[in-house]
């Protein structure tokens, strides 16, 4: 017994008392698996549509690196935001606010995963892909989480770029450079992110206010948010058609993008019209915003599937 005691510090034992279990699932939660699944999916599509061939083992390593990099950014984000996470219903159940993982452990975990992901993709494919992956992690942590999120209502507009990097990484992993098509995929995801998050922010608005985050519905009000969602959906449609217009994607993709874009505008219009008063308060208990949020997830998934199917159709 005395040997055991002599091998540990008092702080370690106290921490063990505070955190009686160490469940691996808490560490998985720290990596934001739902965000990770979308990141992996868009990264995989970037890899599929890229011209050329990649060995399946190296391709798998690249996708694994993108997943680890996304998890790393999520863990560091949860470390930095744990003070405000405990104030919002959506995030209060995360491992750090729940007292299941110590903040510094989460930070260490995130830093190690960041290094591992960048090293892995660099050694498996090339250092252009590694650089873009490192940039995306730095952007999400440094630009979005630490700089913009608590300071400006434009947080999600600029910070959203972090989530748009994966197709660039997948493409660079195969080709070793950045092409026009992944840049357009970046632009599409970049323009998709604000209406996606603002739809969510409309119906969890009070939580953001409580945490002091200047999300658009908090700082500019629901009326302006509804207008911005509509504006972004109107810009998103022509930009999403550019790959076909420029001859970088085929008609299969073009038709799907057109239909999906029209659907997005219809949902955005419903959100815009859902105003009971001059302030833009919802008349329908934010049902249109909830539908728009769910549709935005469907939109991005099917759009990227269309990119992959289109590339397969064109090459076979």
Partner 1 sequence: MTDEFPPPIPPDQIAAFKAKRRGRNLALLIALLAFAAIFYAIAMVRMGQNL
Residues 6+ apart with CB under 8 A from 78: 30, 32, 85, 94, 95, 96, 106
Q: Among residue numbers 106 through 125, which ones bind partner 1 (CB under 8 A)?
A: 116, 120, 123-124
Count residues binding partner 1 (CB under 8 A): 25
Q: CB of 315: closest distance to partner 1 in angstroms?
A: 22
Q: Select from 5-13, 78-86, 95-103, 186-194 the region that touches partner 1 (CB under 8 A).
A: 5-13
Q: Among residue numbers 123 through 162, which ones bind partner 1 (CB under 8 A)?
A: 123-124
Q: CB of 312: closest distance to partner 1 in angstroms?
A: 24
**Residue owning tokens 């008609």:** 251
d(CA 299, CA 200): 15
In this chain, which of 10, 278, 315, 316 binds partner 1, going by CB under 8 A? 10
Mask of contacts with partner 1, 30-69, x by CB under 8 A? -------------------------x-xx--x--x-----
Q: Which DSSP symbol is given to 130?
A: H
Helix (H/G/I), strand (E/B), else coil: 280: coil
Helix (H/G/I), strand (E/B), else coil: 25: helix
In this chain, which of 17, 52, 104, 278 binds partner 1, going by CB under 8 A? 17
Q: CB of 97: closest distance to partner 1 in angstroms?
A: 20
Q: Select from 6-14, 32-40, 132-140, 189-197 the region that touches partner 1 (CB under 8 A).
A: 6-14
In this chain, which of 22, 83, 180, 281 binds partner 1, going by CB under 8 A? 22
d(CA 258, CA 66): 29
Does residue 5 belong to the site contacting partner 1 (CB under 8 A)? yes
Closest to partner 1 by CB, 104 vs 316, is 104
d(CA 140, CA 142): 6
What distances in angstroms separate CA 118 from CA 1, 37, 64, 132, 178, one per listed residue? 42, 18, 11, 9, 17
Closest to partner 1 by CB, 124 vs 148, is 124
Residues 6+ apart with CB under 8 A from 152: 214
Number of Cβ atoms within 10 Å of the Cβ of 225: 27
d(CA 299, CA 269): 16
Closest to partner 1 by CB, 116 vs 231, is 116
- CB burial class (10 A; 0-12, 13-18, 19+) of residue 279? exposed
How many helices and strands, by DSSP H and E, does the chain display?
16, 0
In this chain, which of 1, 104, 315, 316 binds partner 1, going by CB under 8 A? 1
Footprint of partner 1 on this chain (CB under 8 A)? 1, 4-5, 8, 10, 12-14, 16-17, 19-22, 24, 27, 55, 57-58, 61, 64, 116, 120, 123-124
């Amino acid at each position: 017994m005395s040997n055991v005691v002599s091998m540990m510090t008092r702080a370690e034992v106290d921490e063990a008392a505070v955190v009686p279990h160490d469940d691996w699932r808490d560490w998985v939660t720290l990596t934001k698996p739902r965000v990770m699944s979308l990141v992996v999916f868009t990264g995989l599509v970037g890899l599929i549509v890229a011209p050329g061939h990649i060995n399946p083992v190296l391709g798998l390593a690249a996708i694994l690196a993108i997943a680890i990099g996304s998890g790393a950014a999520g863990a560091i984000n949860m470390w930095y935001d744990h003070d405000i996470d405990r104030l919002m219903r959506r995030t209060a159940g995360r491992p750090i606010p729940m007292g299941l993982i110590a903040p510094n452990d989460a930070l260490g975990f995130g830093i190690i995963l960041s290094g591992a992901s960048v090293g892995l993709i660099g050694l498996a494919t090339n250092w252009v892909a590694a650089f873009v992956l490192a940039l995306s992690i730095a952007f999400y942590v440094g630009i979005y989480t630490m700089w913009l999120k608590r300071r400006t209502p434009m947080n999600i507009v600029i910070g959203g770029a972090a989530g748009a990097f994966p197709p660039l990484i997948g493409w660079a992993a195969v080709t070793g450079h950045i092409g026009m098509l992944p840049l357009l995929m970046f632009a599409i995801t970049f323009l998709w992110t604000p209406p996606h998050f603002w739809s969510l922010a409309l119906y969890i608005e009070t939580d953001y206010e409580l945490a002091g985050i200047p999300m658009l519905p908090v700082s500019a009000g629901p009326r302006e948010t509804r207008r911005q969602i509509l504006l972004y959906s109107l810009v998103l449609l022509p930009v999403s058609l550019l790959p076909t217009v420029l001859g970088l994607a085929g008609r299969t993709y073009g038709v799907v993008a057109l239909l999906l874009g029209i659907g997005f505008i219809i949902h955005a219009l419903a959100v815009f019209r859902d105003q009971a008063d001059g302030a833009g308060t919802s008349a329908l208990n934010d049902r249109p915003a909830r539908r728009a949020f769910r549709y935005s997830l469907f939109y991005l998934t099917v759009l990227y599937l269309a990119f992959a199917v289109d590339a397969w159709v064109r090459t076979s």
